[in-house]
Chain A
Amino acid sequence: MWQSLHASLEARNFTVVAVAMDEPEAARPWIEQAQPTFPCLIDRNHHVADLYNMVNVPQASWIDEAGRIVRPPENAGSSDAFRAMDRTTMQMSPAQITERNRSKQTYVAAVRDWVAKGAASEFAYDAASLRSQLRLPDEAMAQAHARFRLAQALLRKGNGKEAALHFGEASRLHPESWTIWRQAAAKDATGLAVSAEFWARVDALGDRPYHRPIDMKGLRRGEA
């Protein structure tokens, strides 16, 4: 997903660090196909989601040369257009595909602007603006991550039945986290957690977003 961006900017002191919220063997075919030249790390315990209070994929944070966050963890250019796809054929209409591509291109263009201009980029926050955009976790979320960690350990010990209880409790404590829910959910033959249960959970969002809109020109809610 990020290889062309990385390849075109790596000479400018930029790198993608990709983190798969996934099991190594599930992530492997995707990584082998993409042949990325940036670090592609496997995070089966979703530790990075815990550290950065991330709730979905793809989410990303921009980090400058000094290790400071300049954009908070947020949706990295995905759109909610998929919600209107044909759920039998999994096909999107031309208009939905256009919207999906526009969202991605807008986000990638912003990354390029930041790499070119640094702190002067209109997309890089100063500290005060960033703090106002940061979403901090609450105690239920911290409990959810501890449960998730326990569930993953139990799963690896072969105790799927007890793991399921803790996955369930993690999702109950942190319902906003799609990473927790989808990692634990049943997968179809292609490895996707896109079951009737998934769509029911998406539909239950109603007017709420699946990918929370971000504060970026062209991607704010209602901007299209």
Chain B
Amino acid sequence: MITVLHEQSETTCTSARVRGEELWLTASELAAATGWSMKPEGLCRGDVCLPVPPSRAAEYVDGAYLNATAFWQRLQHPVVHDAAGEVWVLGTSAADRGSALASLEAPDFALQDLTGATWSLSQQRGKKVLLATWASW
């Protein structure tokens, strides 16, 4: 059983296969885990598409399977996994984090409180917000 962690989501990918340092996912599981979906023009999210280089298609696509590691590395995002290959983090690059911050639009997130209720930052729109971190430690 392979779990893929991306942004705030945690997705169990029952069809996933690991080949050495590569995580191969079906297009539907990659889409479920990351929001990136396979289209004729390449792997896309929103308006952004990453084409599959025709001369190296075999590195990225094998039948129903996509090489998530190869796509992620081409997007310059971090990929890390545990020794057993059961937990994979498809991370987000510093460039993406930096450009989101530099837009000056506060990056949105959704987290739970202790009662299990989910709150997003964006639902506070219309108020001034002091977004403050703390910890017990």
Of A79-87, A96-104, A179-187, A199-207, the stretch lying at the interface with chain B is: A179-187
Q: Is the CB of A154 within 8 A of B111?
A: no
Closest Cβ of chain A: how far from B129's Cβ, in Å? 4
Could you tell me the distance between the alpha carbons of A65 and B133 in the complex, rounded to whole angstroms?
A: 20
A contact residues, total (Cβ < 8 Å) = 82
Contact of A137 (CB < 8 Å), options: B98, B106, B113: B98
Residues of chain A within 8 A (CB-CB) of B57 are: none
Q: Is the CB of B82 within 8 A of A20?
A: no
> Taking A14-B127, A62-B129 as contacts, is the C-beta distance between A26 and B94 under 8 angstroms?
no
Could you tell me the distance between the alpha carbons of A50 and B6 in the complex, rounded to whole angstroms?
A: 12
Q: Is the CB of B135 within 8 A of A183?
A: yes
Closest Cβ of chain B: how far from A69's Cβ, in Å? 5
Question: Can you list, as one digit per residue, whether each of A37-72 has a CB less than 8 Å from chain B (1) or not (0)?
Answer: 001111101011111111001111111111111000
Interface centre among B81, B92, B97, B126 (most CB of A within 10 A): B97
Interface residues on B, range: 35 or more
Closest Cβ of chain A: how far from B108's Cβ, in Å? 8
B residues near A (Cβ < 8 Å) are 3, 5, 7-8, 10, 76-83, 87, 89, 91-94, 97-98, 100-102, 104-109, 111-114, 119, 121-122, 124-137
User: What are 10 A-B interface contacts by the 8 Å CB criterion?
Assistant: A14-B128, A19-B111, A27-B136, A62-B131, A138-B94, A142-B97, A143-B80, A146-B89, A185-B137, A191-B136
Residues of chain B within 8 A (CB-CB) of A28 are: 114
Could you tell me the distance between the alpha carbons of A136 and B103 in the complex, rounded to whole angstroms?
A: 12
Could you tell me the distance between the alpha carbons of A182 and B102 in the complex, rounded to whole angstroms?
A: 28
Q: Is the CB of A65 within 8 A of B128?
A: yes
